[in-house]
Amino acid sequence: MATVTFDHATRVYPGTERPAVDQLNLHIEDGEFLVLVGPSGCGKSTSLRMLAGLEDVNAGNIYIGDRDVTDVQPKDRDIAMVFQNYALYPHMSVADNMGFALKIAGTPKQEIRKRVEEAAEILDLTEYLDRKPKALSGGQRQRVAMGRAIVRQPQVFLMDEPLSNLDAKLRVSTRTQIASLQRRLGVTTVYVTHDQTEALTMGDRIAVLKDGLLQQVGTPREMYDTPANIFVAGFIGSPAMNLATFDVADGYAQVGEARVPIAAEAVSKLTDADKGKVTIGFRPEALSVVDQAGPGSFPVEVDLVEELGSDAFVYGRLVGPKALDAQVTSGAGTGQVIVRVDPRKVPMKGDRLYVSIREGEQHVFSPSTGERL
């Protein structure tokens, strides 16, 4: 087992000016499960490949434990990688696939068989050891790929979107198995995904990347409750946070005819660049449906209701004075507000709701920098 450290690690692909990964500083503790998450093209897979030795590091260093592995060959880094596409040998049995790396390394046959059987028992693959990959389901093939990593007993597991090829139901059960397996083995794991639900449910900590830059690192709860900037706020959470920009006057944000109080500390941090405006984030579950218009409530016209049984979400538009000036965005797109409502009291399309942000549940950001105030 070992720690992993990125020390100002940078990767610039030939023919490009902007780094794919820019000055990445990240420390992963021994035995920790860290999830790298972000939109497509943010540099998360490149970071993983730099750690694996599959990409050159143009500046900075990478350490596994106390050892600088920046220029060390991939085979000498003591890591094991699980890919999105399984990468199994079709002509080999499951047992041979799992033990192939050990065979290449010259490990005795008895030791290989022992390690393969131990891994197969952990992964519920014992009865499939003599089968070929074509006789397995997608979930079973992914478990074989994980078994191949486990038998090597590496210092670090690297997983590059291993669940992307699975159907939705299987993805949920497999991510639970992976998280449980990592806790049981206690091996330091770096896991890449674009699915923030996977990140929130699996990781001890999450690192959010955007355009090659690290935005925030923290526990799932920290990322959800105190996002560092507008990007993290909009990216983490499902459905996504509502974000809107409003005028500020006398310590209040003017939401149409409503006035939402803002902490004096946040107001004092606004600068001339913010032009008297503030960006407020509020999650769908932070909104209360009220009976009528009040000083802190604002109207939402219902466009769509998503009923999920135990939950229901209203997708609608702010209406009234200055509604179009608010620049509202959410997981449903520009101009849309998402409200979580009682699934037994669902409004109809075209209805008008009055909602208010519960006290202490709004997030305040600078419109000019995007940083949390």
DSSP line for 270-282: --GGGTTEEEEEE
Rounded CA separation 177/166 (Å): 14
Is 361 in contact with 282 (CB distance < 8 Å)? yes
Domain count, the chain: 2
pLDDT at position 258 over 80: no
Q: What is the pLDDT of residue 261?
A: 83
Is 182 in contact with 157 (CB distance < 8 Å)? yes
Tokens of 52: 């694996």
Instruction: Give the number of other CB atoms < 10 A from CB of residue 91.
Output: 10
| Residue whose token pair is 């990781």 | 203
CATH code, 115:
3.40.50.300
Range of weakest confidence among 91-95, 163-167, 351-355: 163-167
Tell whether 336 and 245 lie within a shared domain. Answer: yes
pLDDT at position 141 over 70: yes
Tell whether 98 and 215 lie within a shared domain. Answer: yes
* Residues contacting residue 98 through CB under 8 Å, at least 6 positions apart: 116, 119, 120, 144, 147, 148, 151
Q: What is the pLDDT of residue 325?
A: 64
The pLDDT of 206-213, averaged and rounded, is 96
- For the stretch 276-290, pLDDT in tens is 889 999 999 999 888
Tell whether 286 and 310 lie within a shared domain. Answer: yes
Please indicate, yes or no, if residue 83 is contained in any of the structural domains: yes
- For the stretch 311-327, pLDDT in tens is 999 998 888 766 666 67
332: pLDDT confidence band, cut at 50, 70 and 90?
Answer: low
Please indicate, yes or no, if residue 370 is contained in any of the structural domains: no
What percent of the chain shows pLDDT beyond 90?
Answer: 50
pLDDT at position 195 over 80: yes
Strands 156-160, 79-82: pairing is parallel
Q: Quick one: which of 151, 158, 59, 142 has its CA closest to 105?
A: 151
Q: What is the pLDDT of residue 57?
A: 95
How many Å separate Cα 145 from the centre of its chain? 22
Rounded CA separation 302/282 (Å): 18
Whole-number average pLDDT of the chain: 89
Rounded CA separation 232/241 (Å): 10
pLDDT at position 1 over 80: no
Tell whether 119 and 257 lie within a shared domain. Answer: no
Tell whether 172 and 320 lie within a shared domain. Answer: no
**Is omega for the bond preceding 239 within 30 degrees of 0, making it cis?**
yes
Q: What is the pLDDT of residue 266?
A: 84
Please indicate, yes or no, if residue 371 is contained in any of the structural domains: no
Range of weakest confidence among 9-18, 264-273, 331-340: 331-340
> What is the sign, positive or negative, of the torsion defined by CA atoms of 76, 71, 57, 190?
positive
CATH code, 301:
2.40.50.140
Q: ∠99-104-106 over CA atoms, to 5°?
A: 95
Q: What is the pLDDT of residue 51?
A: 96
Last residue of a domain, one of 203, 234, 265: 234
Tell whether 154 and 278 lie within a shared domain. Answer: no
pLDDT at position 170 over 90: no
Tell whether 343 and 213 lie within a shared domain. Answer: no
Last residue of a domain, one of 205, 234, 263: 234
The pLDDT of 249-268, averaged and rounded, is 80
Strands 277-282, 312-318: pairing is unpaired
Q: HSE on the CB side for 59, CA within 13 Å?
A: 11
* Amino acid of residue 6: F
Please indicate, yes or no, if residue 372 is contained in any of the structural domains: no
Last residue of a domain, one of 168, 202, 234: 234
Q: What is the pLDDT of residue 230?
A: 93
- The domain of 324 spans 240-365
Tell whether 119 and 252 lie within a shared domain. Answer: no
Tell whether 69 and 164 lie within a shared domain. Answer: yes
- For the stretch 15-41, pLDDT in tens is 998 999 999 999 999 999 999 999 999
Tell whether 255 and 221 lie within a shared domain. Answer: no
Kindly tell me the burial class for residue 156, based on how many C-beta atoms sit within 10 Å of its own C-beta (0-12, 13-18, 19 or more). buried
- For the stretch 53-80, pLDDT in tens is 999 999 999 999 999 999 999 989 999 9
Tell whether 254 and 303 lie within a shared domain. Answer: yes
Strands 156-160, 188-193: pairing is parallel
Q: What is the pLDDT of residue 326?
A: 66
169: pLDDT confidence band, cut at 50, 70 and 90?
Answer: confident
Tokens of 266: 């946040």
Q: What is the pLDDT of residue 192?
A: 94
157: pLDDT confidence band, cut at 50, 70 and 90?
Answer: very high
Tell whether 288 and 218 lie within a shared domain. Answer: no
